[in-house]
Structure 1
Amino acid sequence: MVFPERFSNLPEYAFPRLRKLLDVHQAGGDPINMSIGEPRHPFPEFIGRAISEALEGFGRYPPNEGGEDLRAAIVAWIARRYGVHLNADQHILALNGTREGLFNAALALGVEEKARQKPAVLMPNPFYQVYAVASLAINAEPIYVPATAETGDLPDYVALPAALLDRVTIAYLCSPANPQGAVATEAYWRDLIALAERHDFRIFADECYSEIYRNTPPVGALQVAHDMGADPDRVVVFHSLSKRSNLPGLRSGFAASGSGNIAAMKQLKNYTGAPLPLPLQAAAALAWRDEAHVEENRAIYRRKYQMADEIFGNVAGYQPLEAGFFLWLPVENDEAAALKLWREAGVRCLPGSYLSRAVAGQAIGQDRLRVALVAEEQELQRGLLRLHGCLYQ
């Protein structure tokens, strides 16, 4: 079977790779899965009711860009959350989850050549794997920029050579970061947006963890770009109900940007997109309009942050989580630690290197485990205590 050469060097996806590492061994206790970031808190009670009341919508083709009510709810949420007022017709595209959008936006907006050179796409390292696949799909060179403790767990794009930056067409940035939980400050966004303006590239801001935080709501790329008076098409932001509302199976997200970007993304989606069914759009609109369930969800995560601080506070290199729901724990060897933890304690975590690429022989994440804080609180406490007892005592 023949595959495109540009995809031939993709590493095996993280979770099949994890199964190969662990599943040939017996769990050392009743299994507790802390490897995948699938929210397991209750989703809002009104979701089922909203879907049932809109069942007739399954008998109609949904609009690709999202229905008027859903886009109006998204625009209202952006105005409340970020103080930016957008036009629902020109600036919003509903998505079937943000992964679809993060990939298809590159197809719609990436260019084949820049300054008569092969285009480059920047991404943090470690990173969400769709960034790399999207860059390869448009025949761009993926540039894996270290996001480590030395750089504040965010990529230092500003320090890259000017000759490289002149080839860049897209820069991905996840804030709060997956897996580290680091949050881009207003100053960080300002520097990045100014850099993008100087070198003429777009920023794809993956903000799907924006509503899970300890104290201060993370600043958004859209509000900073608006305050700076930047080109509205300079930034595309992506949001989702998966983490905010514990609705990963609803597959509801959106992209927001300037009218030029959104028009191009809509044009591609008209041919290739998978629109959200109308009953699910009705439920999503209610979720975007309601903040009570979001605050309840955030309160649960704050208790989990405190739990993690109490259990791991004596571990050298432990960093209290600022936002998101992953711990990025220090270990000597990520695969060895994950295997020991599974065989001796029955706890399943993801080796940090499975989320990164080695660049010039420099590995990223081999000294980290990613631990998802998504389980019910008592189960999570059992898992964290087992993890601490197995690896840090």
Structure 2
Amino acid sequence: MNPRLNQLHPYPFEKLRALKAAVTPPSQLPHIALSIGEPQHPVPEFVAPILQQHSAMLGNYPTTKGGLALRETIAAWLCRRFNLTATGLDPDRHVLPVNGTREALFAFSQAIIDSSQPAPVVVSPNPFYQIYEGAALLAGAEVVFVDAQSEHGFIPQLQSLPESVWQRCQLLHLCSPGNPTGAVMSLDDYQLALELADRYNFVVASDECYSELYRDELKPPLGLLDACRQLGRDDFSRCVVFHSLSKRSNLPGLRSGFVAGDAQLLQQFLLYRTYHGCSMSELTQQISQAAWSDEAHVSANRQLYNAKFAAVGEILAPLLDFNLPTAGFYLWPQTPIDDCDFAQQLFAQQHVTVLPGQYLSRPDGNGANPGYGRVRLALVAELDDCISAAQRIAQFCQTLS
């Protein structure tokens, strides 16, 4: 077996299962899960007719690169959403369909990291999506974390890392809007990342799968490719972005997304994927084309989340300290007791599952962990369930005081 497998940490939900196994929840209360970011809103209505019309496509082997029609649809969406130009974004060179961002993020690290170089480094925000870490470790790299703390608006302070780290860095992961904080990077934040990438010769990978779940319809979050355009980086050099239909279109089971950006990087990534065996089925491509072409269901999706944030925020604000996030579907409140104890006791008393923040973070050299004393609440359930969960959390918090 690959000895690097022994470096992997248990996945957060494995830890959560063990934490919950030690207690018995009240059976008279129905379980409400706010722990996993799995959208529960209905799938768009246009999906079912496509399934019926194009099911015969499952009889064909798809190409690794995906059909030109899908890549053109994705490129057109990128141009509309991120103010890019059709002449500057070539569907044939700058876009590659993938089976969801999780698969693509993992595979991209395997293709990018050169383990023959001495002590390669991958820099990741902290807290973080654990695929960043696992992919880096299995590719033979060391992971260096940059804390995303409330005093800096939950934006990782890249300038805090020493030059010795950047000299070994091969890949920088960004996540904006952030998971679990919902923080959105500014143009200045992106500019700093790009200046470091140019100075020290590494790749910037921006996970933007929450980009369409924003609160203010007039202020959609900035993306890395848009930042490139504004900074005159029209070739997107050293930059790739990852997008998905899971959160945007409530299609987590479709496993459909894309990678876009630097044409040379995507050419090599396509070569890797040709051997990786991860082609997107033509049926999935048809549904994806329809989803990337439609904004009405995305806007309706945002309104559903905004209603939940308003209702849950009103209930919990008197009892827990948190900021309503600019984007995403998570709340990231501080807890009055240890976050693991909070999650375990809440489950035992109120049959509500939340994820301890320390499961999403790593401690620094001094033992400080930016996830300690926080929990992640995924507002993915229906509005009534989210309100019921918030009321139960409020009741639980009152017992603590």
TM-score bin, normalised by smaller chain: over 0.9
How far has the Cα of 1:157 moved from its partner?
1.2
1:244 corresponds to: 248
2:122 corresponds to: 121
1:98 corresponds to: 101
How far has the Cα of 1:229 moved from its partner?
2.4
Identical aligned residues as a percent: 39
Structure-2 separation of matches of 1:388 and 1:197: 48
- Tell me if the contact between 2:320 and 2:333 (Cα under 8 Å) persists in the aligned partners: no
User: CA deviation digits over 1:13-37, x for unaligned, max 9?
Assistant: 1112111111342223221111100
Alignment of 1:112 with 2:118, yes or no, is no
What letter corresponds to residue 279 of structure 2 in structure 1? P
What letter corresponds to residue 296 of structure 1 in structure 2? A
- Tell me if the contact between 1:221 and 1:237 (Cα under 8 Å) persists in the aligned partners: yes
1:89 corresponds to: 92
1:163 corresponds to: 164
What letter corresponds to residue 215 of structure 2 in structure 1? R
Q: Provide the aligned length of Structure 1 versus Structure 2.
A: 389
Give matches, 1:1-393, under 5 Å.
3-28=1-26, 29-84=29-84, 85=86, 86-114=89-117, 117-215=118-216, 216-230=219-233, 232-315=236-319, 317-331=321-335, 332-360=337-365, 361-392=367-398
Alignment TM-score, normalising by the size of structure 1: 0.96
Structure-1 separation of matches of 2:21 and 2:48: 35
User: CA deviation digits over 1:164-207, x for unaligned, max 9?
Assistant: 11111100011100011111112211111122111111110000
Q: Equivalent residue of 2:237, what SS?
A: helix
Structure-2 separation of matches of 1:386 and 1:203: 41
What letter corresponds to residue 259 of structure 1 in structure 2? A
- Tell me if the contact between 1:166 and 1:199 (Cα under 8 Å) persists in the aligned partners: yes
Q: Equivalent residue of 2:92, what SS?
A: helix
- Tell me if the contact between 2:70 and 2:288 (Cα under 8 Å) persists in the aligned partners: yes
User: CA deviation digits over 1:130-171, x for unaligned, max 9?
Assistant: 101111122111101111213321211122111211111100
- Tell me if the contact between 2:239 and 2:261 (Cα under 8 Å) persists in the aligned partners: yes
User: CA deviation digits over 1:220-263, x for unaligned, max 9?
Assistant: 00111122123523111000000000000000000001210110
How far has the Cα of 1:7 moved from its partner?
2.8
What letter corresponds to residue 157 of structure 1 in structure 2? L
- Tell me if the contact between 1:170 and 1:201 (Cα under 8 Å) persists in the aligned partners: yes
Structure-2 separation of matches of 1:44 and 1:56: 21
Structure-2 separation of matches of 1:113 and 1:257: 25
- Tell me if the contact between 2:312 and 2:386 (Cα under 8 Å) persists in the aligned partners: no
Q: Which runs of 5+ in 1 are unaligned?
A: none
Structure-1 separation of matches of 2:318 and 2:192: 35
Structure-1 separation of matches of 2:20 and 2:11: 15
What letter corresponds to residue 335 of structure 1 in structure 2? C
Structure-2 separation of matches of 1:6 and 1:336: 32
Structure-2 separation of matches of 1:304 and 1:213: 13
Alignment TM-score, normalising by the size of structure 2: 0.94
Q: Which runs of 5+ in 2 are unaligned?
A: none
- Tell me if the contact between 1:158 and 1:192 (Cα under 8 Å) persists in the aligned partners: no
- Tell me if the contact between 2:72 and 2:91 (Cα under 8 Å) persists in the aligned partners: yes
Structure-1 separation of matches of 2:14 and 2:31: 18
What letter corresponds to residue 252 of structure 2 in structure 1? P
Q: Equivalent residue of 1:38, what SS?
A: coil
CA RMSD of aligned residues (A): 1.4
- Tell me if the contact between 1:337 and 1:391 (Cα under 8 Å) persists in the aligned partners: no
Structure-1 separation of matches of 2:321 and 2:376: 14
How far has the Cα of 1:113 moved from its partner?
4.6
Structure-2 separation of matches of 1:135 and 1:10: 10
Structure-2 separation of matches of 1:155 and 1:133: 20
Structure-2 separation of matches of 1:233 and 1:252: 25
Q: Equivalent residue of 2:332, what SS?
A: strand
- Tell me if the contact between 1:108 and 1:268 (Cα under 8 Å) persists in the aligned partners: yes
What letter corresponds to residue 387 of structure 2 in structure 1? Q
How far has the Cα of 1:316 moved from its partner?
5.2
Structure-2 separation of matches of 1:223 and 1:321: 21
Structure-2 separation of matches of 1:273 and 1:266: 11
How far has the Cα of 1:353 moved from its partner?
0.7
Structure-1 separation of matches of 2:385 and 2:137: 40
